[in-house]
Chains A and B, each alone.
Chain A
């Protein structure tokens, strides 16, 4: 960390923050992991995954913060993604042994201020369903819940086939076609699934079947981020993806609940849920 002076604000005289850009990815990952160690669903990251998360999701490290107590010890972390005039609040956490001093409120209030300083007029975040302290804090600061999003998984395995669900005609989309499809999409993705995030992350593959398409991310170990042009045909398209990649594990974040039945029929189960919340800045 460099020696730039920490900033404080009124009402929190014993607390201060520094820009996250003063820390290495390694330290940011460590701080984040420490803050989430006792979470309902701990999702630790190493330095590489933290760097990817920041790059893929347009997280602005100069607008993201690490908080400090009166002794100069790190107490928590909060990050801000910025796109157009929208701000995404993410990776918020307070280190367990340093909780109880309204650190979470200090982080959130300062991120709201950072968003305004960057001309954002709209804020959004997701909170894990069941994390009542965080949900109540965000409500108190003006965020309103808008929808429930599911995090779902499917272990490797062949998709069931039937005469009524022939996917043999599925063809691969070219990179140009994938880009064109994403440009034309009409769904309301969460921040993680916005076209900017998908294009930054890369490794996209797409299948076309009878005029409908599905685009997804494929790494060497996992499938993720399924996007459909026609949700009513999602069951067939999901099956087509798993018939093509039967040996890959799948984890899809922030699935809208109206698509759940289609995934469930393909062997998915729900890992946990998030509540998306929005705020006018």
Chain B
């Protein structure tokens, strides 16, 4: 089963995203702070990491930058999960090594498909 790690401090947002992804067949682990999230990622084998850019201990961007320094995570998509204005979020996510962004609030009908799209071999090789 594909494991998704969600690093997100907003409990409502994390709960909603988890529920949708679990219903779509994913295993989900949530870390509500950056340090905890990194521990979870480095102690597991996630298929995809979803990172809120605004975290209460370490900035989400810094978390992404630190995760990207672990070569074994190179093939793992890291997706910025953010309410930032989209143009800023795109620029920032790309600069920090994210593979894409998902804007909050999530579209509950599309969310699982958005995640699945990032996991396709075609997307990863593009």
Contact = CB atoms under 8 A, between A and B. Distances in A.
Interface stretch (A38-46, A86-94, A173-181): A38-46
Contacts of B84: 40-41
B55 interface: yes
Contacts of B83: 38, 42
27 contacts: A37-B10, A38-B83, A40-B85, A41-B84, A43-B54, A44-B9, A44-B56, A45-B56, A46-B57, A153-B92, A153-B95, A155-B96, A155-B97, A156-B69, A221-B62, A222-B58, A222-B62, A247-B69, A249-B59, A249-B61, A249-B62, A249-B65, A249-B66, A249-B96, A251-B59, A251-B62, A271-B88
B88 A49 contact: no
Closest 4 CB pairs of A and B: A46-B56, A44-B56, A42-B54, A249-B65
A33 interface: yes
Interface of B: 9-10, 33, 54-59, 61-62, 65-66, 69, 83-85, 88, 91-92, 95-97
Interface of A: 29, 33, 37-38, 40-46, 48-49, 153, 155-156, 221-222, 247, 249, 251, 269, 271-272
A41 B54 CA distance: 8
A44 B92 contact: no
Contacts of B56: 29, 33, 44-46, 49
Given A29-B56, A33-B56, A46 B33 contact: yes
Nearest to B65: A249
Contacts, number: 55
- A251, A271, A272, most chain B CB atoms within 10 A: A271
A156 B84 CA distance: 21
- A38, A40, A44, most chain B CB atoms within 10 A: A44
A33 B54 CA distance: 11
B89 to A, nearest CB: 10
Contacts of A156: 65, 69
Given A222-B62, A249-B62, A271-B88, A44 B55 contact: yes
Contacts of A251: 59, 61-62
A43 to B, nearest CB: 6
B65 A155 contact: yes
A221 B35 CA distance: 11
Given A29-B56, A156-B69, 6 more contacts: A40-B84, A40-B85, A41-B54, A156-B65, A269-B92, A269-B95
Contacts of A45: 56
A221 B66 CA distance: 8
A38 B84 CA distance: 10
A222 B60 CA distance: 12
- B57, B58, B62, B96, most chain A CB atoms within 10 A: B62
Nearest to B91: A269
B57 to A, nearest CB: 5
